[in-house]
Amino acid sequence: MQCEEARGRIGALIDGELAGEPRRDVEAHVESCERCGQELADLKRLQRQVAAVRASAPPALADRVRAALATEAAREVGTRPPVPAVRSLDALRIGLRGGLRRSLRPLMRQAAIIFVACLVSAAATWFVLRGADDRATLERDVLSAHVRSLLQDNPVQIASSNTHTVKPWFAGRIEFAPAVADLTASGFPLAGGRLDYIAGRRVAALVYRRRLHFVTVFMWPSAGAEETRPSSMTLNGYNLLTWSKGGMTYWAASDLNQGELKELQALL
Amino acid sequence: MNRLAEFEERALPCLDAAHNLAFWLVRSRPDAEDIVQDAFLRAFKAFDACTGEDIKPWLLAIVRNLAYRWLAARKKAANVISLEEAVSARTGSGEGIELATQEASAEDLLIGQAERALVAAALSELPPPFREAIMLREIEGLSYRDIANVAGVPVGTVMSRLSRGRAQLKARLTELFEKEDRDAV
């Protein structure tokens, strides 16, 4: 083996990274070559010298790292860290507190379950009551609006049987375009339209006639997109019918019978 | 065994190695200790990702990356004098380097305090990649493959860094010893 070739491999030799034939070759060369033998001795001495400057960790670092790890582990589990009991007084205090906590634990759990149950029950009651209340208020609102319009000289603000007169009248007065249909052929001539106020908002009200009866159809955009089938009810002798379709909620109020009211609903 | 106990059992034996690497990269004991603590926390959080049999190279790689990040941050702080400059300004005395060795070992008896100071000074002058390769090899006894994994470079690069680092270190040490001999006379 040539000197140049061997020289570059002496490092690998002392690092134990040579094996088999290459290792034997380099070893043999180093034995026979004075300069390479010196290089090997120098590198070995360098190894010892460097090994002597190892910066070992100070003893306190191990404790510090352990404490940090315990905190992290506790944080992951979501509990308090097991505090390293350094002083005996601290240890006693922590021990007492821990024992107290353990004995309170089943009781606290029961209390928590009862508390959550109460909360759920209260929320459910409030939800049901509020829902029922809303519905009743809405029915009364609709009926009142209908009856009040009949008490006045004219139940409409824009009197026209022409849909192209009535529909544009709403533009700018409310923030949606109401469905206006000319149902004269079906026996429900359009009397006109007006604005009304139901459930805290401005709504469109269209008035249709059936013989001597008036039908007010209120409409406003629904909160949800779902369509609901017509549901009818009777209040103070008036018939109400509500449904939602195409993102709008409709309420029809009239002293007309339910059958004819449904007939109108089917046409809209 | 829970996760924490398992981690401590496997990682804490590497504490000296971690501290040694951090110290020799950043050459400040408080910073080295912070880096080690940070590295152990990160290692613990990512413990599941360590699939290898030997945790040491993986852990040292984390230490190394944090140390380099720290070095980069120090470089950015323009008003701080580089330790490299500070050390080379008083090369030979070696008193700029505070050795972390706690007690006299067999090696300490073989190699005197003065010699260790010179070695420390010479090591401090090496570029960090050389220094880290030499530290991992000579002190931690890592294989070329493990050093390559820690430093994130090919094995060939490790070999050339070791060889060049040793040559530089040897030359510098020879200079320093000669200078000291002259001063003694």
B148 close to A (CB below 8 A): no
| Residues sharing a CB contact under 8 Å with residue A183, sequence separation 6 or more, in sequence order | A189, A190, A208, A264, A267
Residues of chain A in contact with residue B100, where contact means CB-CB under 8 angstroms, are 54-58
A52 close to B (CB below 8 A): yes
User: What would the pLDDT profile of A26-53 be if each residue is shown by its tens digit?
Assistant: 888 888 888 888 888 989 988 888 888 8
Cross-chain Cβ contact B16/A11 below 8 Å: no
pLDDT at B18: 92
- pLDDT of chain A along its 268 residues, tens only? 678 788 888 888 888 888 888 888 888 888 888 888 888 898 998 888 888 888 888 888 888 998 888 888 888 776 544 555 444 555 555 555 555 555 667 788 888 899 999 999 999 988 888 777 778 888 888 999 999 988 888 888 888 888 888 888 988 888 888 888 888 888 899 999 999 998 888 999 999 998 889 999 999 998 776 788 888 888 888 999 999 988 889 999 999 898 888 988 888 8
Distance between CA atoms of residues B22 and A2, nearest Å: 40
Distance in Å, alpha carbon of B103 to nearest chain A alpha carbon: 10
Cross-chain Cβ contact A64/B33 below 8 Å: yes
Where in chain A is CATH 3.30.200.100? 134-267
Bridge partners for A215 per DSSP: A208, A254
Residues of chain B in contact with residue A64, where contact means CB-CB under 8 angstroms, are 33, 37
Cross-chain Cβ contact B119/A52 below 8 Å: yes
Cross-chain Cβ contact A69/B44 below 8 Å: yes
Measured between CB atoms, which of B20, B135, B169 is closest to A56? B20
User: What would the pLDDT profile of A99-119 be if each residue is shown by its tens digit?
Assistant: 555 566 778 888 889 999 999
Distance between CA atoms of residues B38 and B18, nearest Å: 11
Residues of chain A in contact with residue B115, where contact means CB-CB under 8 angstroms, are 49, 52
Cross-chain Cβ contact B101/A8 below 8 Å: no
pTM beyond 0.90 = no
Contact B131, B24 (CB under 8 A): yes
Q: How confident is residue B64, by pLDDT bands cut at 50, 70 and 90?
A: very high
ipTM exceeding 0.85, yes/no? no
Residues of chain A in contact with residue B137, where contact means CB-CB under 8 angstroms, are 15
Residues of chain B in contact with residue A16, where contact means CB-CB under 8 angstroms, are 143
Contact A89, B55 (CB under 8 A): no
The token duo for A214 is 């008036």
Cross-chain Cβ contact B16/A54 below 8 Å: yes
Distance between CA atoms of residues A52 and A109, nearest Å: 59
Residues 58-97 of B with CB under 8 A from A: none
Task: Tell me what percent of the residues of chain B surpass a pLDDT of 70.
Answer: 78
- Per CATH, which fold does A134-267 belong to? Phosphorylase Kinase; domain 1 (3.30.200)
In chain B, the N- to C-terminal Cα span, in Å, equals 63
B173 close to A (CB below 8 A): yes
Residues of chain B in contact with residue A77, where contact means CB-CB under 8 angstroms, are none
Bridge partners for A208 per DSSP: A190, A215
A63 close to B (CB below 8 A): no
The token duo for B158 is 């490790």
Identify the structural domains of chain B with CATH numbers, from first to last.
1-80 (1.10.1740.10), 83-185 (1.10.10.10)
Measured CA distances, A206 to A154, A221, A243 (Å): 13, 15, 15
SS (H, E, C) chain B: CCHHHHHHHHHHHHHHHHHHHHHHHHCCHHHHHHHHHHHHHHHHHCHHHCCCCCHHHHHHHHHHHHHHHHHHHHHHCCCCCCHHHHHHHCCCCCCCCCCCCCCCCHHHHHCCHHHHHHHHHHHHHCCHHHHHHHHHHHHCCCCHHHHHHHHCCCHHHHHHHHHHHHHHHHHHHHHHHHHHHHHHC
